[in-house]
């Protein structure tokens, strides 16, 4: 087959996109849009073909499932389930491993694996420390089980949805809701048995500070970071240069490395009587607390509750002609109260914050929160964190209003809440709606299993119901959707269309069949599994499945066999992201808490990939004969 100009253009765009995905020079959604526009601009695809991804069933289904999953987390339903699971697990390490891995696999079959791990992780850490087990022995199995659990149902992970949609596009019967279940259950069982068999080789990394690892409550975070020892009170005098300036213009963080936790402002004087030309005024003794915002203007007699190093506080007070006052017991309420608090968030892979420092991000202005400290896995606490370029796995200690912390935790593409979770649950989760969210989730699953409605219709109906019943507001529903993933899928689906249209899929399929086809379909399926699982270690599982799914269908057609086993093999292999901490968001989530190193993932992940490969090759031909 002759290589045409369109084939060269398409392959050039594909290779360029893969380089950008791997190097992360651009955000993944931007790369996907570049792919989409590039294919249309070069006339490889028509406008209709290029934009077809945005109306794809797979894209709409994934978006609807994000909303339903958001309701499960927002109402506290997921947290309730996590607490029950931990209570059942007991104190034996063997029992903990079995119960936690089964639980996270089952839950991940229905809602986001990232969200499931984020909710379970603090509880698992707390139990591990209470029974004197290093959290690292439980957290990596927790993450790996969530990846295996995604293979249990059609909606467990995006690759499942993508390969099923590819079958429909090619004119084949799609996968049913529980068609993945036998394979997923067997894989999960094999993963649990493997974990028990190699239990003595599980990473046994001691946390640098046990308190840091157990910080489910905000008060524990304050003790862990010794914040109570670095709080000071200073009054603004009349001659201070701070009078009349805003918090942003004062540059207190940039110049002095200090944080303003709270502003205490004297209440206005009130006239109560006037005799001749004399007025009698009164002033309440209690100051008015103001949570500082970048635009908040400072005034004479304002009392600033500061957090930072004592020497820097002293220099700041002298430079700004302020007076340092004795700290009162109530001042530490500036760190945590009914209105404000502290929490830890971790940066997942491909977070938009990576490669930028807090000043470049204008973090305080953008998120209305103050960063009090940053910890980096393998490095520990970063001293001059404001100038430090942020990286994946960084753990940020943030302080501010609870409602702003919750907004931050809802931005799951950029942050995942891992510390201070209990206060979020007790203060902000709409627990009264949890039974409604559970009912909608169960009803959606029943409709999906029975096939009463098409899959996308059922999921969209469920997403609409969680809004109409008040489980989520419409704004919260928009926030629950991982738009980066949506654009990634919608932008990359046309690439698979282009690869088919210009003839690359036929050519690669012929090469695959010519090389491995004579050895039988099982060997071909093994080749697809190895190719997919290799790519998914450096690309997202979504991107990998979009590229490989049409190739698997063409190979099956050229071999004149049913494609379902090949497609399921691709979906399973796309989720086998065990080998690196950046291969999957769940791997990154547990990295800091487990104090893992890069090699820890290779050491435990390699046998997981091998066992998954062997189990898949043995089981799939039985479940889906060629």
pLDDT value, residue 564: 93
pLDDT value, residue 430: 65
pLDDT value, residue 210: 43
Does 352 lie in the same domain as 297? no
Q: N- to C-terminal Cα distance for the chain?
A: 28
Does 316 lie in the same domain as 236? yes
Residue 243 lies in a domain: yes
CATH number for position 327: 3.30.70.1450
Residue 257 lies in a domain: yes
- Boundaries of domain holding 397: 342-419
Tokens of 31: 């790369």
Coil, strand or helix at 302: coil
Does 316 lie in the same domain as 250? yes
pLDDT value, residue 55: 84
**CA neighbor of 299 nearest in space, from 312, 308, 287:** 287
Interatomic CA distance for residues 259 and 342, integer angstroms: 13
Residue 358 lies in a domain: yes
Coil, strand or helix at 339: coil
Provide CB contacts within 8 A for 442, sequence distance 6+.
Answer: none
Tokens of 449: 């299993």
Task: Examine the fold and report which residue of 384, 419, 454 is the final residue of a domain before the chain moves on.
Answer: 419
Does 366 lie in the same domain as 287? no
pLDDT value, residue 259: 85
**CA neighbor of 540 nearest in space, from 13, 5, 18, 10:** 18
Does 277 lie in the same domain as 376? no
Residue 560 lies in a domain: no
Interatomic CA distance for residues 302 and 296, integer angstroms: 12
Residue 78 lies in a domain: no
Angle between helices 585-593 and 113-130 (to 10 degrees): 20
Tokens of 488: 């990634």
Does 317 lie in the same domain as 394? no
Does 411 lie in the same domain as 311? no
Does 358 lie in the same domain as 302? no
Number of structural domains the chain divides into: 2
Average pLDDT per block of 10 residues along the chain, 626 residues long: 84 89 80 92 91 86 88 79 75 86 90 79 76 85 92 89 90 90 94 92 68 52 68 88 88 84 79 59 66 86 86 89 81 70 77 83 84 78 81 82 76 72 58 87 89 89 93 86 85 87 84 82 92 86 88 90 92 89 78 80 91 94 88
Residue 108 lies in a domain: no
Q: Is residue 118 classed exposed, middle or buried when 0-12, 13-18 and 19+ CB atoms within 10 A define those classes?
A: buried
Task: Examine the fold and report which residue of 306, 334, 362 is the final residue of a domain before the chain moves on.
Answer: 334
Interatomic CA distance for residues 80 and 412, integer angstroms: 20
Task: Examine the fold and report which residue of 285, 312, 334 is the final residue of a domain before the chain moves on.
Answer: 334
């Amino acid at each position: 087959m002759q290589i045409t100009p369109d084939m060269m253009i398409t392959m050039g765009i594909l290779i360029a996109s893969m380089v950008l995905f791997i190097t992360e020079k651009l955000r993944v959604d931007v790369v996907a849009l570049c792919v989409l526009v590039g294919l249309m601009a070069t006339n490889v695809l028509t406008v209709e073909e290029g934009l077809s991804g945005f109306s794809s069933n797979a894209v709409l289904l994934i978006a609807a499932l994000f909303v339903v999953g958001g309701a499960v987390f927002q109402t506290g339903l997921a947290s309730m389930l996590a607490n029950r699971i931990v209570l059942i697990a007991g104190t034996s390490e063997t029992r903990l491993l079995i119960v936690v891995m089964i639980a996270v696999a089952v839950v991940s079959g229905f809602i986001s694996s990232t969200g499931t791990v984020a909710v379970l992780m603090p509880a698992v850490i707390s139990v591990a420390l209470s029974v004197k087990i290093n959290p690292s022995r439980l957290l990596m199995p927790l993450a790996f089980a969530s990846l295996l659990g995604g293979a249990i149902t059609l909606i467990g992970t995006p690759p499942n949805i993508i390969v099923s949609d590819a079958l429909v596009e090619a004119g084949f019967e799609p996968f049913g809701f529980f068609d993945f279940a036998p394979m997923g259950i067997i894989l999960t069982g094999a993963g649990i048995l493997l974990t028990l068999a190699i239990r003595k080789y599980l990473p046994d990394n001691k946390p640098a500070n046990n308190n840091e690892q157990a910080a489910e409550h905000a008060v524990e975070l304050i003790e862990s970071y010794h914040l109570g020892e670095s709080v000071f009170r200073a009054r603004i005098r009349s001659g201070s240069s701070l009078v009349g300036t805003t918090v942003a213009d004062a540059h207190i963080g940039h110049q002095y490395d200090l944080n303003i936790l709270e502003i205490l402002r004297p209440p206005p004087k009130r006239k109560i009587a006037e005799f001749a030309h004399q007025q009698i005024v009164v002033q309440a003794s209690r100051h008015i607390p103001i949570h500082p915002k970048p635009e908040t203007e400072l005034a004479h007699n304002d009392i600033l509750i500061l957090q930072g190093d004592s020497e820097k506080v002293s220099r700041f007070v002298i430079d700004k002609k302020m007076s340092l006052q004795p700290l009162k017991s109530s001042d530490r309420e500036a760190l945590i109260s009914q209105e404000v608090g502290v929490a830890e968030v971790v940066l997942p892979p491909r977070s938009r914050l990576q490669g930028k420092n807090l000043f470049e991000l204008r973090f305080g202005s953008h998120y209305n929160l103050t960063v009090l400290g940053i910890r980096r896995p393998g490095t520990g606490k970063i001293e001059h964190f404001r100038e430090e370029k942020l990286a994946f796995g960084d753990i940020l200690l943030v302080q501010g209003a609870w409602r702003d912390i919750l907004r931050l935790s809802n931005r799951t593409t950029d942050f995942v809440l891992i510390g201070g979770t209990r206060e979020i649950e007790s203060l902000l989760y709409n627990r009264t709606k949890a039974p409604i969210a559970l009912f909608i989730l169960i009803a959606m699953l029943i409709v999906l299993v029975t096939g009463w409605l098409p899959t996308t219709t059922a999921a969209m109906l469920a997403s609409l119901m969680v809004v109409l019943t008040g489980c989520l507001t419409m704004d919260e529903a928009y926030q629950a959707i991982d738009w980066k993933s949506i654009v990634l899928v919608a932008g990359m689906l046309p690439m698979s269309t282009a690869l088919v249209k210009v003839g690359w899929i036929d050519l690669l399929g012929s090469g695959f069949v010519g090389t491995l086809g004579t050895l039988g379909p099982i060997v071909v399926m093994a080749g697809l599994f190895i190719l997919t699982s290799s790519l998914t270690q450096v690309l997202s599982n979504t991107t990998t499945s979009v590229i490989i799914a049409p190739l698997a269908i063409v190979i099956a057609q050229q071999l004149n066999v049913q494609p379902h086993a090949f497609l399921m093999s691709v979906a399973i292999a796309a989720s086998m992201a065990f080998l690196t901490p950046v291969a999957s968001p769940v791997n990154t989530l547990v990295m800091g808490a487990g104090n893992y190193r890069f090699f820890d993932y290779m050491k435990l992940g390699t046998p997981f990939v091998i066992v998954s490969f062997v189990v898949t090759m043995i089981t799939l031909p039985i479940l889906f004969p060629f």
